[in-house]
Chain A
C-alpha cells in the first residue's frame, strides 16, 4: 500500500499507457535487465559516496526491527501473568468453597494434597502449576501490577525506540535516495552534452526523456523503499525465528511448514500472471498505437468516411485488451486470498496446538498470542521479498537503460594543443573530405572545395539530398571519415569545439527558441550582451518593430510551443540572435515554405544585410541567391555531385542544369 501511495501521478513509462497495467508494481514481471548482477553492482557503486549514511540506515533498520520483534515476546509475559492470576483466583475460589476457609501459612503443593479427588482429577496441568505458585500468605491472589506495569513500560520504550529508529532509517534513506538520483540525473545531462550528434539521430527525444525521468524515478523509488525493506525483511525473518523458537519448537515447526506452500503458490501464480501481463501489455501497446494513428489521421478518416471501419478495428483490439486485462488482474489478485488462507490455516493451527500445549502447561496464554503475531510477521517478509525481487528486476532494467546512456562513446575530445583563431577571416577549404553517417554507407567520397573569405556558397539540390550534412560537418557535429576541413588554413580538429562553433552563426529553418523572454532568446547569441546591443541587433533584423507591438515588449515570454509568435517572427528572432553573435561565417537556410510574404521580404532583407562581409553557406531556394553565389554546391543523395558557378554549371549541362530548367526556366519568360 505504501508503495503505491508514495508514487502518485507517476508518469507513464514509454508512451501512453506504458508499463503500469492493472496491479501496478506488484506482479509486473515483463521487464528484465540484460545483465542483472552487473547493473545492481554498478547501482550500488553509486551508493559508495554515501557509505556512512548507508551504514547508519543499516544499523537503524536492524535496531528498529529487532526492537519491534522482541516486544510481543515480552508483552506475552504480561498476558501470561494476567492469565495465571485468573486461574489462581478461580482455583482459590474453588478451594474456598470446598474448605470453607483457606489457611495462610501453606504452599500450593500442600493444599493440592489436601484437595478431594473430585477436584484434583479434573485439574489440568496448567491449573496445577498455577496453584503451586500461589502465595497463600497474601490471601486471595491479585494481579501483580508492579510486574505487569514494568513489562508494559519496557514495551512502551521498545516500541518508541523502534519507531524512532524506523523514522531515522527512512529519513536518512530519503536523503540518500534523492541525492543519488540527483547525481544520476546530472551525470546523464552532462553526458548528453558530450555525446556526438549521431546519438540524437538514433534515439528519439521521447526515448531519452523517458530514461532521464521515468527510469531514474523508478530507481529512486526502489532505493527509497525496497532497499530498506529487504534489510528489514531479512532481519525480521531471523529475529522472528529466534523468538518463535524461544517460545515453542512445535509451534515454530508448524509455522515454517506453511512456508513452502506459500512459496509454491506465489511462484505458481506469478508464472501464470507473467504470461497474462505480457499479453495485457501487448494489447495496451496495440490500442495506444491504433488510437494514436487514428487521432492523428482524423481529418483523412472523416474526409474518406472511414469512421466505422476505424471503430471496428478499435473494437477488435478493445475486446482483446478487455480479456487480457481482467485475466491478468484476476490472476495476480489470487495471491492475496490464497496466501491469506494459508496464513489463517497456520494461525488456527497455532491456536489449536498452542491451546493444547497451554493446557499441559508447556506454554502460557500470552505465548500463544505472541506466537500468532510472530507467525504473521514471519510470512509477511517472505511475500515481501518475493515482490521485491520483481521490483528489483524492473529497477535493474531501468538502471541499465540509464547506464547505457552513460556508457555511450563521447565525442572525440578536443585537441590538447589547440589553436585559437584570434582574427578569423572566414576562408574555408574542404580537402579530400570523405564522410558517411555510418562507416558502411559513404555519402561524400572525395570533396575538394575552396571558399575565400566573404564568399557566398549556395547549396542546392532536391529535398532529402543531404544539404544539412555539410552544415553538420562544418560545425563538427560529426567527425569526418577521411580528409580535412580547414578554416583559415587551420584544421578544424585543431580548434576546440567551442572556439570553432563561435566562428559560426546559424539561422535554420527549424527555429529553435527556448521557454524564456524574447530578450533572453536574442541574448542567447552572445553571453552578457547589453540591452542596447540586443535592441540594435533587433533593429537590424526587423525584430524591434513587431516586438514593440507586443504588450510586454522584450519581456514577452515565448511559451512552450512558441505558439504566440508566427513562424516568420520566430525566424527573424533567430536572425537577430545571429546578428548579435557577429560570427565570421554564416550558415543560412532559406526555406520559407510557411512564412507569409511580407515577413518573407523582411527575412530576405535581414539575411542579405547579415551576409555582407561574411563567408556564407546558404541552403538556397531563391533563384537570385543561387545565381549570385560565388560557388554553388549541387547535392543529390547525400553527395556533392557538381560544384561551380551558375554559368559554369549551366555549361556542364548536368544535374544542375536539369534541376534549374525544371524549376525556373521556361517559366521565367511567362512569369511577367
Chain B
C-alpha cells in the first residue's frame, strides 16, 4: 500500500506534508487549552483575580481560532490530496487496463477490473481521508501524556495503569470483532449468491415447483447471516459502555488520589483538573486510533488488488519497426503453434494455411477447438509460440501493432457497441468517415433499413451496451463498423449467429459483391453460412482436420461430415 501511495502521490506529496504540519499545530494547540484552564483556576479563581481570568480567556480564544483555522486548512489539503491520489491511481489503472492484452484482462475478469478501478480506489481515497486522524491521534495522545506528566508527575502512574487496561480491552474487543466482520461479509455474499440464483432461475424454480425448498435455502442463509450480525452487534454493544466505564472510573480514581495529594500539598487543584483533561485526551486518542486502524486492513486488500493490476505485465511487446507493406497478398500461417501461458497443452498445433484476397476462408469446428484463438492471433491479441504469421508477406511482429491492426476489420463474437449515436458507432471503424461511407456500410450490413426506421435515424442514441437494440441489430452495426474501415482483412467471428437465416443469406450476398479484394475470414457454427466459401478450414482439438471446399470435405473429412450431419438430417442432404 505504501508503494502504491508513494507512486501516486505525485505533486500532492507536498500538500499532504503541509497538511501534516497543520494537523500537528492543531493537536499541540488543543493540548494548550487544559493548561490555560489550570491557569484560570490557579491564578484567577483562587486568588479572585478577574483581570487574569479575562486575559487568559482571550488567550484561549486565540488558541481556539488557531485550532479551527489549522483544522480547516488541513481539511482542505487532505481533501485535495485524497481526491488527487484517487484520481492518479484511477488513471494509472485505466491506462494500464486499456493497454493490456486480452490475456491480462481475462486473467482478472472484466467485472473484477471494474471494481478495482472504482470501489478499490474509493477505499484508498477513504484511507487518505482517514489518515488525518492517523496522524492527529498519536500526536494528540503522546502530547497529552507528556503534558499530563508535566502537570502532575505524581499522578502519572494512573496513566500507566489505565492506559494498559484500556489498550488491552480495545485489543481484545477488536480481535474478537475483526474475524466476525469478515465472517459477516462472507455470509452476506452467500445470501447474495442464493438470492441471485433464485432470481436467474426463477422460471426453472417455478416450473419444477421448487418454490418452497428454495425459500428454505434462503431462510437458512438469512438466519446464518442474522446470527453472525447479531454477534458483531453484541460485541459492539459491549465496547461502548466498557470504554465509557473505564474513562469515568479513571476520573473518579484521579479525584480520590488527587484529593489526597492536594491534602498533603503534593499537587494543586488546578494541576488535578488539568491532569484529568489530559488523561481524557489520551484515552480518546487511543480509542480513535484503534478504530482508524481497523480501516487499514480493508485498504490494504484494495491496494493489493490494485497493485495486482498495475504490476501485471503485458506479454505482447510492440517493437515492430518496418513500414507496413500494401501488397494485398493475403495472410499466411506457417506452422503456427500457440499455448496459453502456463498451459500444458497448446491450443493450436502446427497450423498452416493461406488466405487469399478476394476469397472467403471459413473456419469451423466444435467449441473449444480453437477457432476464436486462431483469429485472435492475427491482430496479435496473443503472441504465438512458434511458427510465423505473415500479412502481405511481412511477419506481423515486424510491423507496429497500430499499423497491423489498421489493416484489420474485426467483428467479434459478442457485438460490442458504445454509448453514442448510430453514426458515431459506425465511425468508430474510421474516424474521418463521410456520411456516404457510413450509409454505404450500413446498407451492405443490412442495417440501413432498421436504422432508418428509428426515429433519430443515424443520430439515434445507442444506450450503454446497446441495450436498446436487438442482438441481430447489434451484430449488423458491428459489421458496418468493420466495413467502413475498408480493411485488407475482414475477420467475422461467428458474427451472423443472431441473424435469422434470411438476413444472414442476404448479408453474405451483399458482402460478397461489396468486398472484392480483401481477405475474408469467417468463423461460423452453421454449415449453411460457410458452405460456399472458397476455402473451409476444419479445426479439431487445435489441429487442422481438413482444408478444402465443402464438397471435398464432406466426402473426405470425417469431422466435417459429422458437423454437417448434426445440423442437417441425412435425407435433406441426400
Contacts and interface: CB of A to CB of B under 8 A. Distances in A.
A5 B294 contact: yes
Given A166-B241, A463-B499, A501-B209, 8 more contacts: A160-B245, A189-B215, A298-B105, A329-B82, A337-B68, A352-B57, A624-B569, A624-B572
Of B472, B478, B500, most buried by chain A (CB within 10 Å of CB) is B500
Interface in A288-338: 288-289, 291-307, 310-311, 314-315, 318-319, 321-323, 325-327, 329-330, 333-334, 336-338
A86 to B, nearest CB: 6
A345 B64 contact: yes
B83 A159 contact: no
A504 B46 contact: no
B203 A659 contact: no
Nearest to A599: B366
B269 A340 contact: no
Contact of B75 (A213, A310, A333): A333
Contacts of A622: 567, 569
B569 A297 contact: no
5 contacts: A171-B237, A288-B114, A302-B379, A325-B87, A337-B71
B197 interface: yes
A463 B238 contact: no
Given A1-B291, A71-B248, A294-B98, A344 B207 contact: no
B119 A341 contact: no
Given A142-B263, A174-B233, A329-B79, A300 B497 contact: no
Interface in A467-508: 475, 477, 497-498, 501-502, 504, 506, 508
Contacts of B165: none
B531 A512 contact: no
Given A163-B244, A623-B568, A291 B114 contact: yes
B562 interface: yes
B113 A295 contact: yes
Nearest to B72: A337
A333 B132 CA distance: 12
Contacts of A138: none
A627 B569 CA distance: 10
Interface stretch (A7-15, A106-114, A233-241, A449-457): A7-15
Interface stretch (B48-56, B141-149, B441-449): B48-56
Contact of B64 (A86, A171, A287, A341): A341
Contact of B418 (A1, A293, A319, A623): A293
Nearest to A603: B566
Contact of A506 (B193, B207, B498): B207
Contacts of B245: 159-160, 163
Interface in B359-380: 366-369, 379
Interface string A561-588: 0000011100000000100010000000
Contacts of B83: 22, 321-323, 325-326, 329
A597 B382 CA distance: 27
Nearest to A621: B567
Q: What 10 pairs across the A-B complex have the smallest Cβ distances?
A: A124-B48, A596-B366, A462-B500, A170-B237, A174-B233, A337-B71, A624-B569, A344-B64, A663-B501, A325-B83
Interface residues of A, number: 175
Given A171-B234, A351-B60, A498-B209, A126 B48 contact: yes
Contact of B405 (A20, A193, A304, A568): A304
A185 B429 contact: no
A515 interface: yes
A472 to B, nearest CB: 8
Contacts of A185: 191, 218, 222
A599 to B, nearest CB: 8
Contacts of B84: 322, 326
A22 B129 contact: yes
A560 interface: yes
Contacts of A298: 97-98, 100, 102, 105, 110
Interface residues of B, number: 172
Interface in B87-135: 87, 90-91, 94-95, 97-100, 102, 105, 110, 113-115, 117-119, 122, 125-126, 129
A262 to B, nearest CB: 13
Interface stretch (B251-259, B386-394, B512-520): B251-259
Interface string A359-378: 10000010011001000000
B531 A212 contact: no
Nearest to A291: B117
B354 to A, nearest CB: 22
A511 to B, nearest CB: 9
B164 interface: no
Interface in B475-507: 478, 481, 485, 497-503, 505
Interface in A20-54: 20-22, 24
A334 B73 CA distance: 10
A174 B232 CA distance: 9
Contacts of A22: 79, 82-83, 125-126, 129
A662 B502 contact: yes
Interface stretch (A77-85, A249-257, A431-439, A545-553): A77-85
B138 interface: no
A606 to B, nearest CB: 14
B230 A295 contact: no
Interface stretch (A176-184, A389-397, A417-425): A176-184
A99 interface: no
A348 B64 contact: yes
A355 B500 contact: no
Contacts of B57: 348-349, 351-352
Nearest to B298: A8
A295 B201 CA distance: 27
Contact of A662 (B182, B268, B501): B501
Contact of A205 (B37, B67, B200): B200
A359 B429 contact: no
A296 B255 contact: no
Given A178-B233, A296-B416, A318-B87, A149 B75 contact: no
Contacts of B340: none
A601 B566 contact: yes
A304 B204 contact: no
A600 B71 CA distance: 70
A167 interface: yes
Given A9-B181, A296-B110, A463-B500, A348 B233 contact: no
B502 A182 contact: no
A301 B208 CA distance: 43
A87 interface: yes
B219 A186 contact: yes
B60 A177 contact: no
B408 interface: yes
B412 A287 contact: no
Interface in B540-574: 550-551, 554, 559, 562-564, 566-569, 571-574
A512 B68 contact: no
Contacts of A412: none
Contact of B208 (A159, A175, A358, A581): A581
A426 interface: no
A566 B369 CA distance: 13
B192 interface: yes
B45 A355 contact: yes
Interface in B56-87: 56-57, 60-61, 64-65, 67-69, 71-72, 75-76, 78-80, 82-84, 86-87
Interface hub of B233, B238, B499 (most chain A Cβ within 10 A)? B233
A66 interface: no
B90 A287 contact: yes
B95 A672 contact: no
A322 B87 contact: yes
B369 A596 contact: yes
B165 to A, nearest CB: 15
A400 B540 CA distance: 56
B226 A182 contact: yes
Given A149-B256, A159-B248, A185-B222, A512 B200 contact: yes
